[in-house]
Amino acid sequence: MASGKELCEGVEWRIRVVDGSSEVLVPPTGLARKVWLRTKGLISGLGMKVRMFLKQAWDMGANDPRKVIHCIKVGLALTIVSLVYFMRPLYDGVGGNAMWAIMTVVVVFEPTVGATLYKCLNRVCATCLAGFLAVGVHWIASQSGDRFEPFVVGASIFILASIATFLRFIPSVKSMFDYGAMIFILTFSIVAISGYRVDKLFDLAHQRISTIIIGTSLCILVIMMVCPIWSGQELHSLTVRNMDKLSDSLDGCVTQYFTNSNGEDDQKLQGYKCVLSSKASEESMANFARWEPSHGRFNFRHPWKQYLKIGASMRSCAYCIEALNSCINSENQAAESIKKHLSTSCLKVSSSSSSAIKELAESVKKMNKSPNMDLLVEEMNSAVEELHNDLKSLSHLLNPSTTAENQISATGLVPFMEIIPVVTLASILIEISARIEALVGSVEELVEESEMKDKIVAKEEKPEGTMKALQRV
């Protein structure tokens, strides 16, 4: 709304300029005036763009204050790490290499706890590994004499950098250690090559590691203490939200079709599109959530991967809703009598399906198996059965061999083409209900796995449980 208003103002303004220049053109005052008008126009246009940009930024901040909090957290962490510079003993302690602590904070600080932990752990481990390796390579190089030293160091950098870069392409490595591989190359190159110029190489490696540890610990502290945003929690909420959207879209579309109402909220109807486009964000969230310790109701090793399966099931429903939408907007209009004939059962299927999805959302939200689920699925299936029967009886409307001639004219024989859109819609609805059953299955798997993990954690917390677990291993 607001940006639309802004746009309107922009358009109005342009019209005014055009008016102005056409008025001016009657007495042609020459190039100077033209240039002035154009410059004025450019400046005003720029001002308008800046205003729109600021408005967009303000709206974004107002809609999601957590983004603003994240920015303040980054500022806070950077200001704290700057203290290293201002405090003499700390600065001397890291041999003037305090810069690396700042660099670590800037590079490692991400909006969610999971992403930050992933980067922190990768950075620390890769730095340690590369540091030790580089010191070793430097020792070998220094043993090979002054003449060969550059060649040994150069060759080792070439080989290790190539291998590490190659590993970054392998999917399993990429999802867990992509950042680590990059830091490995970085640290190895810097430490190995510094050996040629820096005398106290071991000190350099030690300083780099300690500054990185200062930076990462500060990041972890700030990210987890000040309004933490957990990737896992985000993924969980996204899944629940998407289920609600799916349910609203499904119900909304079918209701709109059969009641011919255009009053439905368009945003609600288009909600399934969010489901279609959230694959990438689900994957990255699930990836980061693995690094998070237990938080809220989620244990460490909560079955995050199962959320991806649920996401895939939801998308398969959303594809069908997309096809449903195309039936609704189809040019071939269906006969009203057929619509009426099927409307009750179609609406029943859609409402029972959408309440099944709603219940699933509730079940994921509370992370327990809903006692009503089986009942709702049964209801959905019986609605589908009813729709099947109604479809069967459609043939009576079409096939008058079972009815008397006068009845035919009374019911009004419907052209076959006018049945097609409704029949297509009905069969897609039936397909959606089948896909919802698959969705129910994946949600149940999630709940079961999470309960199992809960039990394991509960057992491990008791000492005798640990003993038993050890014996079992």
Q: What is the smallest separation between the CB atom of 365 and a second copy, expressed in angstroms?
A: 27
Cα separations in angstroms, 297 against 192, 230, 422, 441: 46, 12, 45, 22
Residues 241-300 that bind a second copy (CB under 8 A): 277, 279-280
CB atoms within 10 A of CB 236: 22
Q: Is 163 in the site for a second copy (CB under 8 A)?
A: yes
Q: What is the smallest separation between the CB atom of 442 and a second copy, expressed in angstroms?
A: 17
Give the residue, chosen from 57, 140, 458, 469, that forms a contact with a second copy under the rule CB under 8 A.
57
Residues 428-467 that bind a second copy (CB under 8 A): 428, 431
- CA atoms of 38 and 41, how far apart (whole Å): 5
Q: What is the smallest separation between the CB atom of 451 and a second copy, expressed in angstroms?
A: 29
In terms of CB distance, is 143 or 393 closer to a second copy? 393
Q: Is 199 in the site for a second copy (CB under 8 A)?
A: no
Q: Is 136 in the site for a second copy (CB under 8 A)?
A: no
Write the CB contacts of 276 (distance below 8 Å, at least 6 apart in sequence). Answer: 315, 318, 319, 322
In terms of CB distance, is 79 or 466 closer to a second copy? 79
Residues 307-336 that bind a second copy (CB under 8 A): 316, 319-320, 322-323, 326-327, 330
The answer to whether 363 and 447 have CB atoms below 8 angstroms apart is: yes
How many residues at the interface with a second copy, by CB under 8 A? 82
**What size, in residues, is the chain?**
473
Q: What is the smallest separation between the CB atom of 122 and a second copy, expressed in angstroms?
A: 14
Give the residue, chosen from 20, 47, 65, 96, that forms a contact with a second copy under the rule CB under 8 A.
96
Write the CB contacts of 472 (distance below 8 Å, at least 6 apart in sequence). Answer: none
Residue 241's φ and ψ, nearest 5 degrees, are: -65, -40
Give the residue, chosen from 34, 55, 388, 453, that forms a contact with a second copy under the rule CB under 8 A.
388
In terms of CB distance, is 157 or 367 closer to a second copy? 157
In terms of CB distance, is 391 or 447 closer to a second copy? 391
Q: What is the smallest separation between the CB atom of 102 and a second copy, expressed in angstroms?
A: 5
Name the token pair of 147.
């003449």
Q: What is the smallest separation between the CB atom of 263 and a second copy, expressed in angstroms?
A: 26
Q: At what angle do helices 336-366 and 420-461 cross, to 10 degrees?
A: 10
What is residue 295's DSSP assignment? B
Q: What is the smallest separation between the CB atom of 383 and a second copy, expressed in angstroms?
A: 17
Q: Is 424 in the site for a second copy (CB under 8 A)?
A: yes
Residues 103-122 that bind a second copy (CB under 8 A): 103, 106-107
Q: At what angle do helices 463-472 and 420-461 cross, to 10 degrees?
A: 110
Stretch touching a second copy by CB under 8 A, among 121-129, 152-160, 237-245, 455-463: 152-160
- CA atoms of 373 and 22, how far apart (whole Å): 70
- CA atoms of 397 and 463, how far apart (whole Å): 72
- CA atoms of 127 and 213, how far apart (whole Å): 10
Q: Is 423 in the site for a second copy (CB under 8 A)?
A: yes
Question: Looking at beta carbons, which pairs linking 151-155 to residues 24 or more positions away fall under 8 Å?
Answer: 153/192, 153/193, 153/195, 153/196
Give the residue, chosen from 44, 142, 189, 337, that forms a contact with a second copy under the rule CB under 8 A.
189
In terms of CB distance, is 24 or 398 closer to a second copy? 398
Among residues 271, 279, 276, the alpha carbon closest in space to that of 307 is found at 279
Q: Is 91 in the site for a second copy (CB under 8 A)?
A: yes
Stretch touching a second copy by CB under 8 A, among 15-23, 99-107, 374-382, 457-465: 99-107
Give the residue, chosen from 86, 199, 371, 412, that forms a contact with a second copy under the rule CB under 8 A.
86
**N-term to C-term CA, the chain:** 61
Q: What is the smallest separation between the CB atom of 457 and a second copy, expressed in angstroms?
A: 25
In terms of CB distance, is 11 or 413 closer to a second copy? 413
CB atoms within 10 A of CB 27: 8
Q: Is 174 in the site for a second copy (CB under 8 A)?
A: no
Write the CB contacts of 94 (distance below 8 Å, at least 6 apart in sequence). Answer: 84, 100, 101, 207, 210, 211, 214
